[in-house]
Amino acid sequence: MPPEDHPMRYRLANELHARPFPNVAAPAQAIFLAIKQPTDAAKRDRGLDRTHLLALLDRFGADHPAPDATHFFGDLGKFRLKWEQHTEFVTYTAFLPASGERPFDPAAWEAFPEDWLARAPGHRITSAQLRIETAPPSEEEIAARLAGWMVPESLAVSRVLDASAVIAGDFRIDSNGHMRFAMFCAPEADSRRIGRIVQRICEIETYKSMSMLGLPMASRISNRMGEMDESLAHLVTAMTGHLAKPAETLSELLAIAAELEKLQTESVFRFGATGAYEALVNQRIEVLREERFMGRQTFGEFMMRRYDPAMRTIKATERRLLSMSERAIRAGDLLRTQVDVDRSAQNQALLASMDRRADMQLRLQKTVEGLSVVAISYYAVSLVVYLIAPLAEPLGTDKTMLTALAVLPVVAGVWLMVRSIRRSMEK
């Protein structure tokens, strides 16, 4: 008997094949759309994305994917649709026949009905139109076509996958609201390889757009950090001198540290996702194995000049935020130590004052104790005199003499009694 399979074995194995590459034969065209819900990934309702997909499939009478599917590829009659659900967004790619002589014909977007697009559960993060042609015989003809289709200043062109194709794009949004990419395929390139190149281009554009979402957050946080950095520097400088109100200074430092921690909490996911998307962009470009075309910049060079500075800004902001948070915590610890030392000195002074007060209280108590002996003795002598007064006549003396004789013993007895009580209380 074979060993029992792990409950997740087949699901994990099938995950490796969940997103197959499309097969595309030149000439053709593709339109690509990525939609992101306005909430973060944790609060995203994936059911809305699936409902939106099913509404499109029902328009064309296509079969539905499995309930838990994150990928769909099917024939909708006029075009083939590829749908993918990712952590933060969903993508729709429609593969259509070539558009004839008019390049990047906006009519291709009629594949996605306008009312269906208007009900999308989120915002368009990017959209692109790809023109796929068989490569003309000369490089000059390719260059001439690209000059008419795209902006030369930002145009990136390269040969990919051992000269299987020439890909080009200017990463600008055209008048119809879409990015433009062109692909000139070698006659011997098969449909699977063309499909892989198309998929890589779409992924580069999508992951590039998603990673750039960290830049506005980095700018906002950087502006706020500039204000807090000035306050933090002022507080740290004040710590080197005499602080009139160290407790208030500590409260201000803790407020800055708390706000920095809040900024870290708000940005940790976005900055982490930016790093992951950046790695995917670079990896997708790397697997294309670019070669220079007619001295033009490659996709990798374009990203190095235009895209990498934004990524470095985000990383620098992330590092600065972490550094400021650590500085605020260290300054708070130092000031807290100083406050504790000051409080210890105050406590010592208070204890010394209490000791002096206790000594005074003891001296006062002894004084009162002496007076108490006198007072008690006075009443005790009166009682003793009442007791021994009948003995005055038999003893041949008077009452005054008996009173005088009784004073010293009574005072001594009272003093001994009070002393005994005080000693027993001190023990």
Q: Which of 165, 187, 210 is the last residue of a domain?
A: 210
Are 150 and 293 members of one domain? no
Please tell me the predicted confidence (pLDDT) of residue 374. Answer: 77
Over residues 242-258, the mean pLDDT reads 77
Are 191 and 335 members of one domain? no
**Domain count across the chain:** 3
Residue 238 has pLDDT above 80, yes or no: no
Please tell me the predicted confidence (pLDDT) of residue 34. Answer: 97
Are 299 and 390 members of one domain? no
Are 60 and 188 members of one domain? yes
Residue 171 has pLDDT above 90, yes or no: yes
Are 165 and 310 members of one domain? no
Are 242 and 292 members of one domain? yes
Q: Which of 344, 378, 410 is the last residue of a domain?
A: 344
**In this predicted model, what pLDDT tens digit does every residue of 285-295 receive, in sequence order?**
999 999 999 99
Residue type, 173: I
Are 186 and 61 members of one domain? yes
Over residues 365-384, the mean pLDDT reads 75
**Considering the domain boundaries, does residue 349 fall inside one?**
no
Residue 193 has pLDDT above 90, yes or no: yes
**Considering the domain boundaries, does residue 150 fall inside one?**
yes
Are 167 and 295 members of one domain? no
**Considering the domain boundaries, does residue 9 fall inside one?**
no
Q: Which of 153, 184, 210 is the last residue of a domain?
A: 210
Please tell me the predicted confidence (pLDDT) of residue 244. Answer: 58
Least confident of 196-205, 256-265, 295-304: 256-265
Are 237 and 201 members of one domain? no
Are 191 and 222 members of one domain? no
Global confidence as pTM: 0.78
Over residues 137-145, the mean pLDDT reads 94
Cβ(145)–Cβ(277) below 8 Å: no
Least confident of 61-75, 187-201, 413-427: 413-427
Are 184 and 40 members of one domain? yes
CATH code of residue 264: 1.20.58
**In this predicted model, what pLDDT tens digit does every residue of 314-351 receive, in sequence order?**
999 999 999 988 888 888 887 777 777 777 877 888 88
Q: How many CB atoms lie within 10 A of CB 176?
A: 13
**Considering the domain boundaries, does residue 351 fall inside one?**
no
**Considering the domain boundaries, does residue 303 fall inside one?**
yes
Are 229 and 281 members of one domain? yes
Least confident of 97-111, 164-178, 345-359, 364-378: 364-378
**Domain span at residue 241?**
214-344
